[in-house]
Structure 1
Amino acid sequence: MKNIFFKCYFVFFTTLSVLGLSSCGTDTETEKTEFDRKELLENIATNLIVPSYQNLNTNTASFAEAIQSFVQNPSITTLENAQNTWKTAYLSFQDANAYNFGPAQGTLGSLTENVGTFPASQTKIENYIAAGDASLSNFDRDARGFLGAEYLLFGKETNENILEKYTDQNRKEYLLAVVQNIKSEVEKVNTAWQNGYTQEFINNTGTDAGGGVSILFNEWNKSFESIKNFKLGLPLGRRAGQTQSDATLVEAYYSEESVTFLKAHFANIERIWYGKSLNGQDGVGFEEYLESVEGGETLVAETKTQLEAVNQVMNSLPNESLQTQIQSNPTPANDLLTEMQKLTRFFKSEMTSLLGITITYDSGDGD
């Protein structure tokens, strides 16, 4: 197994820590026109966050049903249905993982930690199965969640070989426990947004560390940096302390769908910046907020140019899995990482300065 230093957790910088990073922003933004921050929060909450969690909840429930059918009647057909519903559910998770705050922060970790940690640990999963331990009463988040389920459903073998393994009752029970845990975690967050938290978030218009704008901005930035640092940087071997690439550290290693999820994740990062709903309707986002402050229009133009540069490189990635690219032709993926690193300055450093928002998480990512 890999040295623990190289174990990639999807949201490694999860614990908020208001450290001495206030130099990244100022106390108040200099507005040239009055900006209604509540309108920003309302648009993001009602047209992005709530629909994203609703979709995730629906798709996760369908995934759980497919797993139940597979375990009760293991066959190539039920296995393929389980694999397809896994992909649909995890794809919808890409739309929700930037909202890892409020109800998504639990006493045993955040939603993204509990269901989105990668890569999955084959050793831990197999040890729990061998021991008949499906309790999940541990902190081994790399032995559960969407990526744990991915390992159990895809592996690196044929569907026929995967199917043979499900003569083992322990394996069935472990898969059921993992998927039920995902479903339960998602349901809790979705229910909270439906039952009061949406309005609480919308009304919390401050830009201080506990304000809704600050919370949204920080989690949005962390979500973007998780693409750059972990979905790309770590498997490419470009994180501090690494001496070489390691294709096994990609997201979705077993299904080989890393590029699909990376693109969906970044599309949601853009959506929040522009304030666009899931169906593409334009609303109030960080773009409009920036346009209301002195120097904001210039930053908006520069950011759009860099967003286009990122998308151009992303859309030109070879039509093959990310792990294959890293092993045989890593240049396009490295180019994408470089363009994303350029975007960091606009998203984090310059936006904090113009909008007066402080970075409240440990952002010592080597940028």
Structure 2
Amino acid sequence: MKKYFALLLTVFFLGCSSGSEKPGPQPVDEGQDRSVMLKSLAERIIVPSYDQFKTKFDDMNAKSKAFTAKPDAQTLAAFRAAWADAYIAWQHVELFDFGPGEKHTIRNFFNIYPTNVAGITANYSDPASNLEVPASYATQGFPALDYLINGLGADDTAILAQYTSDRDAARRLAYVTRIITRMESLLGKVTGEWKGDYMNTFTTKTGLDIGSSTSLMVNGLVLHYERYIRSGKFGIPSGAMANGIPSPDKVEAFYAKNISKNLAQSAHKAYVDFFNGKHAVTGEAGTGLKTYLDALGAKDSSNGKLLSESINAQFTVATGKLDALKSNLYDEVKTNNQAMKDTYNEMQKAVRMLKVDMTSAMSITITYTDNDGD
């Protein structure tokens, strides 16, 4: 009996000893903490980018008021310069088409091109026309302003006549004001929500379901690169997405023309910087999609390198093709269209990496549809 009791005690102490040696919670790689990534992207890139854009927009607004008060060569030139600066700054926030940007469909009201000239004419002829419906997208925003300050005549004298001596001069001036006032209102709503309650929503919805911040953001970003940089700026104008039939009239900033490449470069750089978590003001690298992919250990299956390295390498190739283009993409389509197609093709390679490899590594489901076979 004593031997049996001793055996029970031995088993009991061995069990206690074994339990005390069980490992506790395993440490989590901080790079995989999506709340850290989301907070960094929102505070270091998204909000500062909107602030920078608003500064440029406010200057355009002021110059537009000077022009509508006194349309002459000097005020027109100042308005154009401020418009170009604001349009370039817009490229740094257009990619944020998730959260408040998506809610208020700000992209659709700010940058749908080619602009609808007939619709613009109808709108300034009818001050009560509805600018809040999808049919009005192409009659407002930066492309509409492009037509109104660059495309109303063959030269500045002819354009200014449309605002001074033409019978519809007052209506055109009123429409310029109407467009910019509407843009100002939409921008205020989007930035107000980012600086308000949505910031907390964005940084705390850390799951990977289709309604999570990471899923909404990644879907919005991949869509932006695919449809609005690769396709909109290169694939459609060059004809690479239209059975080889070029459409130079569909380039961005069609009437100004000389800033079309600059717009594309700004959009592409903003995208690459966001991917790498670069601060919108200082350019300092921080937590972002790259660091998150690295923390997940995501590899490029074709070469075994870090996936982020392969994506950045492809971005560099695409940037090289883009930088080699002439400043006027309309002329480039007309005279050197293969270079436009080559740029599209290199961006297409990046699309595959972003849309397939990156989302797979992040366990993100693509929720939008596209018809070009990606």
Q: TM-score, normalised by structure 2?
A: 0.85
1:119 aligns to 2:114 (yes or no): yes
Gap regions ≥5 residues in structure 2: 1-26, 300-304
Q: What is the correspondence of 1:344-355 to structure 2 with a 5 Å cutoff? A: 344-355=351-362
Q: CA deviation at 1:194?
A: 1.4
The residue aligned with 1:141 is 137
Give the distance between the partners of 1:261 and 1:200, measured in 2 at CA: 31
Alignment check: 8 A CA contact 1:145 1:178 kept: yes
Query: In the alignment, residue 286 of structure 1 is paired with which amino acid?
Result: L
Q: Cα RMSD between the aligned structures?
A: 1.9
Larger Rg: 2
The residue aligned with 1:12 is none
Q: CA deviation at 1:127?
A: 2.8
Alignment check: 8 A CA contact 1:60 1:182 kept: no
The residue aligned with 2:283 is 280
Match of 1:251, SS?
coil
Q: What is the correspondence of 1:1-367 to structure 2 with a 5 Å cutoff? A: 33=29, 35-106=32-103, 110-131=105-126, 136=131, 138=133, 139-155=135-151, 157-167=154-164, 168-225=169-226, 226-240=228-242, 242-256=243-257, 257-278=259-280, 279-296=282-299, 297-318=305-326, 320-367=327-374
Q: CA deviation at 1:364?
A: 3.2
Q: CA deviation at 1:308?
A: 1.6
Deviates more, 1:295-304 or 1:49-58: 295-304
Alignment check: 8 A CA contact 2:240 2:344 kept: no
Instruction: Specify whether residues 93 and 249 from structure 1 end up closer, same or farther in structure 2 by C-alpha distance, changes over 3 A only.
Output: same
Give the distance between the partners of 2:80 and 2:208, measured in 1 at CA: 42
Query: In the alignment, residue 227 of structure 1 is paired with which amino acid?
Result: I
Give the distance between the partners of 2:132 and 2:267, measured in 1 at CA: 30
Instruction: Specify whether residues 307 and 135 from structure 1 end up closer, same or farther in structure 2 by C-alpha distance, changes over 3 A only.
Output: closer
Extract structure 1 runs of 4+ deviating beyond 6 A.
Answer: none
Query: In the alignment, residue 88 of structure 1 is paired with which amino acid?
Result: D
Identical counterparts, % of pairs: 27
Q: CA deviation at 1:293?
A: 2.0
Query: In the alignment, residue 307 of structure 1 is paired with which amino acid?
Result: F
Q: Number of aligned pairs?
A: 333
Alignment check: 8 A CA contact 2:297 2:306 kept: no
Higher RCO by CA contacts (8 Å cutoff, separation 6 or greater): 1
Gap regions ≥5 residues in structure 1: 1-30
Query: In the alignment, residue 188 of structure 2 is paired with which amino acid?
Result: E
Alignment check: 8 A CA contact 1:146 1:182 kept: no
